[in-house]
């Protein structure tokens, strides 16, 4: 009898964690909120300014709504970019430098600006 008590609870816990993981992986409203602006490091804060001048005309960063391009809220908290490419620095950098479909290349975002911008995107 006792044999079945604990395992069932363990299975329920495992199923619950699996559901949480699945929810996190599929995105939607399940990603944790972005780091508050007043808690950004210096690099992240500089990246926020780069975002404001170079990206904000086409992307929302802190709300989950498309503008001209998809929202970048939680961009690194989901496994894939909207296109289905893996959400990593390499792909995001390539998107910025080379553009993608209706997104024009942002060729002069480079050096420290690019590093800081990526740091900011990681806080979203
Ligand atoms: C003139 C408008 C415009 C600007 C400026 C712009 N984007 Fe985009 N962006 C778009 C559009 C449109 C898409 C959707 C492209 C597609 O997949 O068809 C997009 C897509 C993306 C994607 C998703 C790529 C993928 O693989 O799904 C990322 C990440 C991104 N932009 C980041 C940025 C960043 C960071 C900046 C600022 C340096 C920026 N964008 C500036 C319009 C813009």
Residue 87 Cα distances to 11, 42, 79, 106, 109, angstroms: 31, 24, 6, 18, 19
Contacts of 89 (CB under 8 A, 6+ apart): 118
Architecture of domain 31-121: Orthogonal Bundle (1.10)
Q: Cα-flanking dihedrals φ and ψ of residue 103, to 5°?
A: -90, 120
Task: Domain ranges for the chain, please list them.
Answer: 31-121
CB neighbour class for 21 (10 Å; exposed up to 12, middle 13-18, buried from 19): exposed
Nearest CA, atom 43, ligand 1: 103
pLDDT of residue 11: 52
What would the pLDDT profile of 55-113 be if each residue is shown by its tens digit?
999 999 999 999 999 999 999 999 999 999 999 999 999 999 999 999 999 988 989 99
Tokens 């929810």 appear where? 23
Mean of all residue pLDDT scores within the chain: 87
Q: Ligand 1: which atom is nearest the Cα of residue 81?
A: 27
pLDDT of residue 50: 98
| pTM for the predicted model, two decimal places | 0.82
Nearest CA, atom 37, ligand 1: 55
pLDDT of residue 27: 47
pLDDT of residue 107: 86
pLDDT of residue 14: 60
pLDDT of residue 69: 97
pLDDT of residue 30: 72
pLDDT of residue 13: 60
> Which residue ranges have their beta carbon within 6 Å of ligand 1?
54-55, 57-59, 68-70, 72, 75, 81-83, 85, 92, 95-96, 100-104, 106, 109
Report CA torsion sign: 37, 92, 26, 72.
positive
pLDDT of residue 77: 97
């Amino acid at each position: 009898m006792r044999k079945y008590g604990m395992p069932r609870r363990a299975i329920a816990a495992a199923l619950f964690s699996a559901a949480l993981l699945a929810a996190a992986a599929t995105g939607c409203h399940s990603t944790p909120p972005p780091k508050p602006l007043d808690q950004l490091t210096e690099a992240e804060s500089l990246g926020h300014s780069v975002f404001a001048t170079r990206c904000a005309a086409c992307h929302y960063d802190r709300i989950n709504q498309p503008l001209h391009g998809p929202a970048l809220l939680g961009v690194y908290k989901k496994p894939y970019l909207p296109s289905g490419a893996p959400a990593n620095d390499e792909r995001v950098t390539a998107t910025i430098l080379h553009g993608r479909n209706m997104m024009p290349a942002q060729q002069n975002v480079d050096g420290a600006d690019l590093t800081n911008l990526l740091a900011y995107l990681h806080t979203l």
